[in-house]
Amino acid sequence: MSPSLVTRTTGATRGARALLGCALAVCLGATATVGTGAASSAASASPTASAFPVATTAPGDRTALDAVGGVLATVTAHTKRTGVAAKTRSYVVNVGTGAAISAGRARIAAAAAAGAGGDVVQSWPHIGVLVVRSPRADFVARLRPSATTRITSVGPTRSVPVEQPLRPRASGGASALAATTHPAAIVADRREREQWGLRAVGGPTSVGAGAGVTVAVLDSGIQPNHPDLIGRIDPARSLDCTDGGRPDPSPARWRNTTSGHGTHVAGIIAAARNGIGVAGVAPGARVASIKVVDDDGFIYPEYAICGILRTADSGLRIANHSYYIDPWRFWCGSNPTQAPAREAVRRAFAYAQARGVLSVAAAGNDSTDLAHKRTDTLSPNDSRPVSRRLDRSCLDLPAELPGVLTVAAADPDGSMAAYSNYGRGVVDVLAPGTEILSTYPDSQWAPLSGTSMAAPHAAGVAAILAGTRPKARPHELLALLRRQARNVPCPRGDRKCTGTVSNNAYAGEGMVDARRAR
């Protein structure tokens, strides 16, 4: 059970939190008036197709992937029989400096991983990263960095063995979803009066706000036939990344299964103005469901890497990340066990930014000053947590990566919520996060709270900006969002809130503003 989805829950049991796809450290309190429970009713179809296909990535990378195809085809007997052997663990192998590696180099690195007792699950040659599984306890020691392979680091992606086997692949891809036709005039949605967050960011906006922009929702999947989301989902660019970090475009996989989190986030961004339920910040935009949360609620590095790389390769310009990457609340570059996965994630997000993607991330719900982190007692969250001291190399991923827009959460009175993380120089903007009404599985609507809800408000405003400025680069959109935000001063007498009226630890540059997005 993972605390990585940044939604708050109160009084929830471990099982109930698992249904929400979130837990303990980050899931500190949510209200969900959704009938009998929080679990989604969307059925998950069983895929039926050949196993272990060679991965598909960006144009131009086919040769490098073909080069490792022979290695992928020689999966060891234990994986062929069951998909997972006892004590099989997942690793990232970093090759080179993060730039694209050649076909020959990919072949050498994959062969070295196989020789050390590993099975290559997924290759990302355009950033020099392999995802490998191995049952050998000495796999890292056997695959040491070397000038011959140009392998620079090897490390685990989780603190426990892999429990789920790799899935067979289903045939077919995107399903046909009905297109949305906008009404001639704005139609007030039935529950719009309950959307204090929409009003706080300057909504409701015009019916077509964000038209032509698709926002990647890296989350737990989306209910595709929700009445407020029909036609708002781009099935051709939706996929699931939770099968060992392998992209799977099957609709049965990228829809929600055990969590309503992604459906809720999608509605905040792009729920249609159709007179039915609620309205999104950018109701003219579409969303792509990029599923990075597995059915146990975890977001491991290989899932996030797959999600953001495929977002970039699909040509999407905005990506919402309402999570932190498991199992470490903060990934430390000074720790040799955590540094390799931290570097692989950094490479993936840097690649996406270079390809034109602005990532918007939730700051987290630990009431922590991210600019002055000292200790962590909640990680790893997939096994027994340990108490550890943090240094400057320890980052909340992806919220503290360069070029990511980091969003803190606000209460209805406009002040930063007590649960929200903060930090001068880390938090960029503030957005509504408490008691946010949005779409929820079983074609319902529910209020949830957390920085998970704040980030999609900012992503919706970013989508509006991207629609009006089709040539703007990610750093330009980020600068505009910061500059157009409304100042939110520090509470009087609050010494933790350092900075000025225009830029402080709690609100960054201020509350995001859709009315100024142009």
Active site residues: 219, 261, 452
Cα-atom radius of gyration of the chain, to the nearest Å? 22
| DSSP secondary structure letter of residue 149 | T
Closest C-alpha among 11, 18, 21, 10 to residue 452: 21
User: 410 pairs with which residues across the strands?
Assistant: 416, 432
* Helix and strand numbers, DSSP H then E, in the chain: 12, 18
Closest C-alpha among 500, 110, 157 to residue 339: 157
What is the token pair recorded at 299? 């977001």
Locate all alpha helices (DSSP H) within 116-182, ordered by sequence: 139-142
The DSSP result for 314-343, as a single string, is TT--EEEE-B--SS-SSEETTSTTTHHHHH
430/228 Cα distance (integer angstroms): 26
Locate all alpha helices (DSSP H) within 53-158, ordered by sequence: 62-73, 77-82, 103-115, 139-142
Q: Does residue 422 sit in helix, strand or coil? A: strand
Q: How many CB atoms lie within 10 A of CB 364?
A: 30
Residue 407 φ/ψ, nearest 5 degrees: -120, 125
What is the token pair recorded at 456? 């999609």
Query: Please, are residues 343 and 284 in contact by the beta-carbon 8 Å criterion?
Result: no
3/22 Cα distance (integer angstroms): 5
309/304 Cα distance (integer angstroms): 8
343/347 Cα distance (integer angstroms): 6
242/20 Cα distance (integer angstroms): 17
* Greatest pairwise CA separation for the chain in angstroms: 65
Q: Does residue 39 sit in helix, strand or coil? A: coil
| DSSP secondary structure letter of residue 29 | -
What is the token pair recorded at 479? 């600068």
